[in-house]
Structure 1
Amino acid sequence: MGVSNNITAFLNFIALLSSIPIIASGIWLASKPDNECIHLLRWPILFLGLAILLVSLSGFVGAYWNKQPLLAFYLLIMALLISLLLILIVLTFILTAPSSDYSVPGSAFREYHLSGFSPWLRDHVTNSENWGNIRVCLGESSFCAKLNEDYISAYQFFAAHISPLQSGCCKPPTICGYQYVNPTLWINPVNTIADPDCTLWNNDQTQLCYNCDSCKAGLLGNLRKEWRRVNVVLIIAVVVLIWVYLFACSAFRNVQTGDHFK
């Protein structure tokens, strides 16, 4: 086997390893309560990572055993997968670029305005049909109940860096002036006209603020935070994959022209 094929096989093994963080990121995203409830966004990264793993394996086999048709298949499909990965990275940056978070005086956590997010992402999540299903899914999750386990006193709660999803869905907006009892139980003030969400809050643990715009905004804030973290992994992975791909193209061309070392 030629030296070029040896090196190409080694680099494809690196590409195979680079798919593992992508797969792990996909599994991590899919396990989050917000992504569990939005099926469109749950699986793309995981499936893309698995595809890169399988194609990298074919490239490794093709290079190591000098199977030129298999190596040609690898080059063709990997170009498509790298393109899809680049498109996903760009779209993620575009769709998560806007942010509508704002600080809450006396609190470590932040709250979110629905109007500040990407119109496409906002409309997809908040249209009546999708939100009805998402709302039911959120109600079956335990992310709000976990607050009652983690924070006993008001001081602990207001000093906590709770997630955007918990901030928007598990408590009423701070502007409403509700009095704290525990993280998911609040005393209704006399005047609740400051925000439409104020009248939607319900101490029923199956309802809370799941019908509120603040909950929709918190969900979008959570998605933004999680997908931006994953994008860092994707950028590193795509740089490695492009580097491996360019070298594999060069090695494949050398083999075809006979310009390689034995």
Structure 2
Amino acid sequence: MALSNNIIGAINFVAMLLSIPIIGAGIWLATEPDNSCVKILQWPVIILGVLILLVALAGFIGGFWRIPWLLISYLIAMLVLIILLACLVVLVYMVTIRGSGHPAPSRAYLEYRLDDFSGWLRRRVRSSYKWDRIRSCLSSSSMCGELNQSYRMAQDFFNAHITPLQSGCCKPPTECGYTFVNPTYWISPINTAADMDCLQWSNEQTQLCYSCDSCKAGLLANLRTEWRRANIILIITLVALICVYLIGCCAFRNAKTEDLFRKYKQGYT
């Protein structure tokens, strides 16, 4: 029984370690400028990671100090958390399937359309109440100002691989036909009717294209890339947690069997 309990405790120590990548993925998302403005995924990931850490700690204590009720509570709670983590992994995968960029003529960067993304993601940015807060957060960042420092000539900018967020928020859509002055200052549109975003563009550095659908699409494209990277970590951790949980279940069952067999022998003698 003692050996099995020690094994259970060691297994739960591994589960505690597995919570670290989950918490780390959430913290990484929280430090990204776009995610810090939207705040959708990072807190569920961090909270889930912390809960897994606490539950695994309870299992660790229950294993080494031989507390059966704590081990049973651990098995139930960890199963619930594994199911929640699996649901989160599936949700992130489903909402990030769509959203690839479109090439623009004579441009190295891609441009993005809001309708290319999943309805669930679009609803996060479509309401004016939500977007006003996000837009204020984005406009206070230095992402557009950095373009002016990096690219002086038009051809250098057109050949640049800028982020989706910069492509959508810091310049007008290519189809509008604006003339390049610098990355955040464009004049003389050829076709303002090409897209509603053509009318939304402003050379005012606090406005730019932050009110454009292209900016919303660029934000979602950035989120999509970061979420998919975080989801890889979550998937790997989920598989490892499932393996650890199954091993823990087997060890707990063996411990109970040993205990029953020991009591049977004591009663027989």
With the length of structure 1 as denominator, give the TM-score of the two structures.
0.92
8 Å CA contact 2:175–2:191 kept in 1: the answer is no
Paired with 2:222 and 2:88, the residues of 1 have a C-alpha distance of 18
Mapping 1:227-238, distance limit 5 Å: 227-238=227-238
Which position in structure 2 is the counterpart of 1:120?
120
Q: Which amino acid aligns with 1:210?
A: Y
Q: CA deviation at 1:58?
A: 1.7
Residue 29 (structure 1) aligned with residue 29 (structure 2): yes
Q: Which runs of 5+ in 2 are unaligned?
A: 263-269
| Amino acid corresponding to residue 211 of structure 1 in structure 2 | S
Q: What are the within-5 Å matches in structure 2 for residues 100-249 of structure 1?
A: 100-249=100-249
Q: How does 1:47-66 map to 2 (within 5 A)?
A: 47-66=47-66
Give per-residue Cα distances to partners, 1:107-163, cap 9 Å, x unaligned.
Answer: 221111111111122023211221122112211222222222333433332232221
Q: Residues 159 and 67 from structure 1, CA distance in 2 versus in 1: closer, same or farther, beyond 3 angstroms?
A: farther
8 Å CA contact 1:52–1:81 kept in 2: the answer is: yes
Whole-Å separation in 1 of the counterparts to 2:243 and 2:259: 21
1:214 alignment partner AA: S
Deviations 1:34-89 (A, max 9, x none): 22222333411111111111211222222222222222221111111111100001
Q: Quick one: distance in 2 between partners of 1:150 and 1:54? A: 46
Matched with 2:74 is: 74
Structure 1 range deviating more: 142-151 or 239-248: 142-151
Cα deviation 1:185-231 (Å, max 9, x = unaligned): 22233432221111111111110100101011111111111111111
Give, in whole Å, the separation in 1 of the partners of 2:146 and 2:5.
53
* CA 13–172 in structure 1, closer or farther in 2 if over 3 Å, else same: same
Alignment coverage as a number of residue pairs: 262
AA of the residue aligned to 1:203: N
Q: Which moved more, 1:180-189 or 1:235-244?
A: 180-189
Task: Compute the RMSD of aligned alpha carbons.
Answer: 2.0
The alpha-carbon distance between structure 1 residues 243 and 169, as it changes in their structure 2 partners (threshold 3 A), is: same
For 1:186 and 1:247, the matched residues in 2 are separated by 62
Contact 1:3 1:261 survives alignment (8 Å): no
C-alpha contact (below 8 Å) 1:171/1:183 kept by paired residues = yes
Q: Secondary structure at the match of 1:209?
A: coil
Distance 1:66 1:153 in 2: 70
Question: 1:24, 1:43 → 2: CA distance?
Answer: 11
Conserved 8 A contact 1:30-1:42: yes
Out of 231-240 and 134-143, give the one that drifted further.
134-143
Identity %: 57
1:148 is paired with a residue of what secondary structure?
A: helix
How much has 1:261 moved relative to structure 2?
A: 11
**Aligned amino acid, residue 62 of structure 2:** G
Structure having the higher Rg: 2
SS in 1 for 2:143: coil
**Larger displacement relative to structure 2 (64-73 or 205-214):** 64-73
Structure 2 vs 1, CA of residues 209 and 260 (structure 1 numbering), >3 Å: closer, same or farther?
farther
CA deviation after TM superposition for structure 1 residue 248, in Å: 0.8
- Mapped to 2, the partners of 1:140 and 1:261 lie a distance apart of 68
Amino acid at match of 1:59: G
